[in-house]
Structure 1
């Protein structure tokens, strides 16, 4: 990954600006063909997404899996980022290699606001590709006619109980595998065909057989939300805490897919809450990331470990704040394990960046410092201004934020709002007396930044303010 990709992924807008000014290649790809725009969109970093698009990042560039920035934003439920990409011309009906579009990914993850937004922009509902209908193979040479599946596999996938019985009588073996090492049992479980799954188990199918990705029948059933089939597999000896090659268990897959009925069933069978996937997620962090607030609180109350950290060293309080989970923030603060100021400020900044005013207020009441500084010298007001969160800006100003504080690049909150194109925020800061004449290290003022940005509304706003100051103080 390039420095621009890393900065885009981590949300460091100031670093992104400097890298672009220094000539960083916005079209550069990593080994998986990801671009900086994909990283920014996947994390919902709207200000960075805007900056990259302004630098002519290709909106519809796709990685090795044919995934686009819009798909990532939609899948994660980033409404503002999705809306921005659509407004800029991102193609809404492209599909990835698995056949998913931005709409189907949003539907899969129950991102209702994004779903409505995509449909408004012409997203088309489509049927995902499935295995062909069952037709008995005419001879042994055609046993793997259907995508490399045996007739038993096809019958199991389609849920044809009589056909499954017929193929078993003909001698089809339960242990035979498809191209990805999938078995008939795995396919039946994935589709939720209870009777077929029950028959295959009764005939001796291995409930714990894994495929090429380390997936078991239980994982497939859990991910697809087939609660009865999950219970059947558990009763038949399926191991509940086995993990796939990504380090995910059946519980984690069910949480990520929003299968709450299955989650409840797995918890009743004492599923391990603290398994950590290769991406760093646990069941609790996944619940937070998926916006499943009640489930997150339930997992915490059931004893989920508090020591979680992601690859960027963010903790659970940061995660709860970042996704605006007030109840979880309250519970975590009550545990008194996140009382270190540095960690609380990190969570505070996350709540501000993503516009969760209620959580920002909650953390202020718990002692968060309205004049705290990030390593780059940004205050909470800088972050709110850069994110375009005018309601949070108002709250911070009410709580005593320094309106003209400068970061290490000597940018004020007004300068940041102007550069990011947030007219409403810039207007509010000017109304509160922000000094537009302050120069940053690049000798820019808010006025010169507005002119450089070529945003007509911003230029008009700044010109009105300049005239007002001239009339009032006789400047120039």
Structure 2
């Protein structure tokens, strides 16, 4: 055994020479080992044999295989702290080494609390990082933001600036790969985050060092979820290959799959699905399939459906995926959902009673309406206020949709909760062409609404001469009184609508009605 003795002749450490006999730099190697054993800066350890301080490059064989070596530890100084901090910041390797050899304490920090090792790692200066490590700088010390040297080296990663070498060195030196910052982010979170997406080599290095791939931050976001959110496919692939949990959700129930869908990244979605990501798991208001619909990615929706995503799944407001697609007017998505292997129910109503057909009509998506009608959507199904698709189309004044619904045998005389037919809503909305279309289809123009008024009363009350004319041409009864005992003529006179009055006075039956 090779004994290391202090000045008093006491044995401090014993090492077996076989563990380093093949080394060409015995002294340098032994100094590093003693530094770790004694928890002391290697710059402050001097080895003496036969009264001579040994050089780092000398080997055990060159020394004649001694049995004892004197070990001297020099006291650390702190009087050059300002110079040392400045040298590290400006990356002056020679100056840093010269000061540390005094030997100088490597535990000093900048005014904001940042340790020198963290600063050097952020800059990617491999040589200074090694020097500080030799001086026994705490490898896991943190600044005020809780970030370690490893975290900073990963977060500031730039291959050209030497950050990979720094990361590799710190990992090999035993840096804690899972130590979180003040937000709970680990070095692995840092590796997968950011706009570059070029850190996969670092991700694999951290995973090889047994970094916890499923450790969440303070928001419950795992590295896999973060990688998916940033759209870094290669990082996602590396994490999945290492068996990261594809279904671990964050605090808002967002999963890696949902993040991948929201990014619109089909390749990433396929990777996650292949690793058994749950296709219906997601945030309260948005499962992955809904996210694909909102971003109008049919290829992703198809991938999810092929993986057995529930095309009938409803959101908190009762909307199905087909509702969502129809509300966006995205015909390719509507066609896919309606024709999917597990096809969506075209007549399923949401919380307000709207079917996909009603939703698309209210929003004026005529191509979607025509397709849904072709898919046998019920043209008479009503919402919770008993408004039918024809009520909606008449309100919108979309003659193409009105025509398509009438052709699909929609009932023009179906009443809503206010007792109004589609003809009433067309009159209220002042859509002449829709009124004419409904009249030609045989809509009942004499029926009274819940307030006892006919469409003629309403048209006259609103002063809408073209509508009154259309009703007259269709044979509307202008003698009929409403619940207040008023005729259309009296409604027009009360409202000061002279054009309507003149129009009605031009008809004998209207003139007679005014004297009743």
Q: TM-score range by the shorter chain?
A: 0.5 to 0.7
Match of 2:388, SS state, is helix
Counterpart for residue 280 of structure 2: 241
Superposition deviation, residue 425 in structure 1: 5.1
Does structure 1 retain, via aligned residues, the 8 Å contact 2:225–2:259?
A: yes
C-alpha distance in structure 2 between counterparts of 1:158 and 1:213, whole Å: 21
Partner of 1:465 in structure 2? 500
Q: Is 1:268 aligned to 2:306, yes or no?
A: yes
**Aligned CA distance change for structure 1 residues 361 and 162 (closer, same or farther; 3 Å):** closer
Would you say the 8 A contact 2:380–2:411 is kept in 1? no
Matched-pair contact (CA < 8 Å) for 2:380–2:389: no
Q: Does the CA-based 8 Å contact 1:439-1:445 persist in structure 2? A: yes
Distance between the aligned counterparts of 1:420 and 1:220, measured in 2? 52
Aligned-pair CA distance for 1:386: 2.6
| Contact kept? 1:181, 1:212, Cα under 8 Å | yes
Task: Quickly say closer, same or farther: Cα 1:341–1:314, change in 2 above 3 A.
Answer: closer
Corresponding residue SS for 1:285: helix
List aligned pairs for 1:58-457, cutoff 5 A. 139=142, 141-142=144-145, 143=147, 149-150=185-186, 152-163=188-199, 165-166=201-202, 169=206, 173-246=212-285, 248-302=286-340, 303-306=342-345, 308-315=348-355, 318-319=358-359, 322=362, 323-324=365-366, 325-332=369-376, 338=378, 346-414=388-456, 416=458, 429=471, 440-441=482-483
* Cα distance in structure 2, aligned partners of 1:279 and 1:316: 14
Q: Deviations over 1:297-317 (max 9, x none)?
A: 332222324362322344455
Q: Distance in 2 between matches of 1:472 and 1:360?
A: 30
Quick check: which one's strand share is greater? 2
Counterpart secondary structure, 2:193: helix
1:397-441, CA deviations, whole angstroms, 9 ceiling, x for partnerless residues?
222223343201023335556778978656755776767886654
**Structure of greater Rg:** 2
1:151 Cα deviation from its structure 2 partner = 5.3
Rounded to whole Å, the distance in 2 between the matches of 1:442 and 1:390 is: 26
CA contact (8 A) 2:381 2:389 kept: no
Is the 8 Å Cα contact of residues 317 and 332 (structure 1) preserved in structure 2?
no
For 1:164 and 1:434, locate their aligned partners in 2 and report how far apart those are by CA, in whole Å: 77
- Unmatched runs of 5 consecutive residues or more in structure 1: 1-134, 454-458
Mapped partners of 1:237, 1:327: distance in 2: 34
Offset, 1:396? 0.5
Q: Which has the higher helix share?
A: 1
Task: Answer 1 or 2: higher relative contact order, Cα 8 Å, separation at least 6.
Answer: 1
Following TM superposition, by how much is the alpha carbon of 1:371 offset from its aligned partner in structure 2, in angstroms? 2.6
Q: CA deviation at 1:264?
A: 2.5
From the superposition, tell whether residues 229 and 437 of structure 1 become closer, same or farther in structure 2 (CA, over 3 Å). Answer: farther
- TM-score, scaled to structure 1: 0.57
Write the distance in 2 (CA, Å) between the matches of 1:147 and 1:410: 66
Counting matched residue pairs gives: 330
Residue ranges of structure 2 left out of the alignment (5+ in a row): 1-121, 124-139, 148-179
Distance 2:381 2:231 in 1: 49
Query: 2-side partners of 1:424 and 1:230: how far apart?
Result: 56
Tell me the CA shift for residue 447 of structure 1: 7.8
1:48-101 CA deviation, whole Å, 9 max, x = no partner? xxxxxxxxxxxxxxxxxxxxxxxxxxxxxxxxxxxxxxxxxxxxxxxxxxxxxx
Distance 1:146 1:370, change over 3 A: same
Q: Matched residues in 1 for 2:211 and 2:461: separation?
A: 66
Task: Name the counterpart of 1:17.
Answer: none
Task: Spell out, residue by residue over 1:244-276, the C-alpha distance to the aligned partner (whole angstroms, 9 max, x if none).
Answer: 333x43112211232222112223333222222
Contact 2:463 2:499 in 1 (8 A): no
**C-alpha separation in 2, matches of 1:263 and 1:425:** 46
